[in-house]
Amino acid sequence: MNIISLITGRAGPSGFGSASTAEQVTQGIDATNLTAIITGGASGIGLETARVLALRKAHVIIAARNVDAANQAKLLILKEDETASVKVLKLDLSSLKSVRAFVDSFNALHLPLHILINNAGVMFCPYELSEDGVESQFAINHLGHFHLTNLLLDKMKSTADASGIEGRIVNLSSIAHQYTYKGGIRFDSINDQNGYSEKRAYGQSKLANILHAKELSRRFQEEGVNITANAVHPGLIMTNLFKHAFTTMKILQILSFLVWKNVPQGAATTCYVALHPSLKGVSGNYFLDCNEMKPSKLAQDQVLATKLWDFTNKLIKSLTKP
């Protein structure tokens, strides 16, 4: 998609473009009997994703740190459609302990799991460490979601086997994955405050989201598992994600107002990749404006993807050992 397509909203090969909304890209799709977990579904594009999936009759689990806000989001969805199936469970992605507790709570519901949307995130944060002692943007945007996904994989695999329905994992990344540290990931200094850049740390975490989906896809194909994994860039949307750089981003929005999206448009690519039947079997790709796009060279590096997978597993093991 070029800048003209971004400005005009002209549709790409999929039939959709930057102006398409989440409702439009899922029109006519029946998600009855599908269960979806959406992290960060209490506000912004996460809430819109939850609303539209519920509108299409999926059973939606909103996983959120702020349970009160998530319950308010649930009420908004039910106000629009009182037959919607929505449940709220607490999840703090900055805590591996909370991730484990969330998975235990979800498993206790004895539900299948067809769709996992790793949507929540933070952006341009000042340097700080998570509860587990990991740089916060890497911890929340990548590490927490990686651990969550791994803990839910058995459930997704058993669901796909029992139902015959393809499972789908969607990682929300960003075009910002192109602006990261030299080499992509600071494996040897992930927590080093020296040389820390709020923007490069964010780009690093978004690159990790794409590499995570790429390695998941490779493993699924190798195992013959009926699950796909893809990454998406939702576009430029002014949400709470910009709270650490609101003034700067507001100026940028004014200067580049033609390419910014509203929330229904911002949730479109996520909903498209999560539900659209045309993407059956499509895995390991990166999507922008509901169309497949090539990410950066680093994001296409399979060796880097495997290295990140091994590094992340080793890090989680070291942080969760008794």
For 150-207, the pLDDT digits (tens) are 999 999 999 999 999 999 999 999 999 999 999 999 999 999 999 999 999 999 999 9
Q: What pLDDT, in 10s, does the model give residues 3-38? A: 445 544 578 999 999 999 999 999 999 999 999 999
pLDDT at 217 over 60: yes
In 52-199 the beta strands, taken as DSSP E runs, fall at: 59-64, 85-90, 115-118, 167-172
Q: Which pLDDT score, from 0 to 100, does residue 260 have?
A: 62
Pick the range with the lowest mean pLDDT from 88-92, 110-114, 247-251, 314-318: 247-251
Tell me how far CA of residue 124 lies from CA of 57, 99, 262, in angstroms: 35, 23, 21
Q: What pLDDT, in 10s, does the model give residues 74-86? A: 999 999 999 999 9
What number is the average pLDDT over the span 137-159?
98
* Catalytic site includes residue 196: yes
Q: Round to whole Å and give the CA distance between 285 and 283.
A: 6
- Helix, coil or strand: residue 58: coil
The catalytically annotated residue of 196, 202, 272, 286 is: 196
Largest CA distance in the chain: 55
Angle (nearest 5°) at CA 158 between 307 and 101: 70
**Percentage of residues in the chain having pLDDT higher than 70:** 90
Q: Round to whole Å and give the CA distance between 180 and 197.
A: 9
Q: Which pLDDT score, from 0 to 100, does residue 256 have?
A: 41
Q: Which pLDDT score, from 0 to 100, does residue 9 have?
A: 58
Domains in the chain and their CATH numbers? 3-320 (3.40.50.720)
Pick the range with the lowest mean pLDDT from 14-23, 52-61, 234-243, 286-295: 234-243
